[in-house]
Structure 1
Amino acid sequence: MVFPEIHLFGDCDTAEDTNAWLEAAAEPLDGPRLRAVAEVARELGVWLIPGSVAERDDDGRVYNTEVVFNPSGELVASYRKVFPWRPYEAWSSGHEFVVFDMPGIGRGGLSICYDAWFPESTRSVAWMGAEFVVNVVKTIGADRKQERILAQANAIVNQVFMLSVNAAGPVGYGGSIVSDPEGAVVADLPTAETGLMTLTIDLDDVTRVRDTGTEGYNRMWSQMSPDDPRIDLPIYGGRIDPTRWEPSRSHPG
Structure 2
Amino acid sequence: MRATLLQLRVDDSEDARARRRRAADLVRARAGDDLVVLPEGWAAGAWNHATWARDAEPLDGPTARAMSGAARAASVWLHAGTIVERAPDGTLYNTALLFGPDGVRRGHYRKIHRYGFDTGEAALMGAGERIVTVPAPFGTVGLATCYDLRFPELFRALLDAGARFLLVPAAWPAGRLEHLRLFVRTRAVEEQCFVLACVAAGEHGGVRQAGHSMVVGPWGEVLAEAGEGEEVLTADVDPSEVDRVRAELPVLRDRVLGIPVPVRRAFGRPGG
The TM-score, its normalising length taken from structure 1, stands at 0.81
1:8 aligns with 2:38: no
Residue 21 of structure 1: how far off its partner (Å): 0.9
How far residue 233 of structure 1 moved from its aligned partner, in angstroms, is 5.5
Task: Give how far 1:177 is off.
Answer: 1.2
Instruction: Report if the CA contact (8 A) 1:148-1:164 is conserved.
Output: no
Hey, what does 1:231 align to over in structure 2? 259
Gaps of 5+ in 2: 1-35, 264-272
**Which one of the candidate residues 203, 216, 220 is aligned to 1:183?**
220
- The residue aligned with 2:97 is 67
Q: Residue 232 of structure 2: SS of its match in structure 1?
A: coil
User: How far apart, CA to CA, are the structure 1 residues paired with 2:257 and 2:151?
Assistant: 26
Secondary structure in structure 1 of the residue aligned to 2:142: strand
Deviation at 1:192, TM superposition (A): 1.2
In the alignment, what sits opposite 1:138?
171
Aligned to 1:120: 153
Structure 1 pair 206/60, CA: closer, same or farther in 2 (3 Å)?
A: same
* Aligned with residue 84 of structure 1, among 114, 119, 128: 114
Q: CA deviation at 1:212?
A: 1.7
Percent identity between matched residues is 33
Aligned residues between the structures: 220
User: Partners of 1:230 and 1:37 in 2: how far apart?
Assistant: 42
> Distance in 1 between the 2:160 and 2:175 partners?
31
| Superposed counterparts of 1:4-83, under 5 Å | 4-10=39-45, 18-83=48-113
| Contact map agreement 1:7 1:50 (CA 8 A) in 2 | no
Flag the 1:229–1:134 CA change in 2: closer, same or farther, 3 A. Answer: closer
The structure showing larger relative contact order (alpha-carbon pairs under 8 Å, at least 6 residues apart) is 2
Change in Cα spacing, 1:160 to 1:229, as seen in structure 2 (3 Å) is closer
Runs of 4+ deviating beyond 6 Å: none
What is aligned with 2:251?
Answer: 220
- Find the counterpart in structure 2 of residue 165 from structure 1: 198
Aligned-partner Cα distance in 1 for 2:237–2:115: 30
CA RMSD of aligned residues (A): 1.9
More displaced stretch, 79-88 vs 26-35: 26-35
Q: Is the 8 A contact 2:64 2:97 kept in 1?
A: no
1:97 corresponds to? 131
Q: Distance in 1 between matches of 2:54 and 2:153?
A: 31
CA contact (8 A) 2:217 2:223 kept: yes
The one-letter amino acid of 1:2's match is V
8 Å Cα contact 2:186/2:220 also seen in 1: yes
1:100, distance to aligned residue in structure 2 (A):
0.8
- The answer as to 2:246 corresponding to 1:210 is yes
Unaligned runs of 5+ in 1: 214-218, 236-253
Output the CA distance in 1 between the equivalents of 2:241 and 2:257.
31
The letter for the 2-side match of 1:34 is A
CA contact (8 A) 1:4 1:50 kept: yes
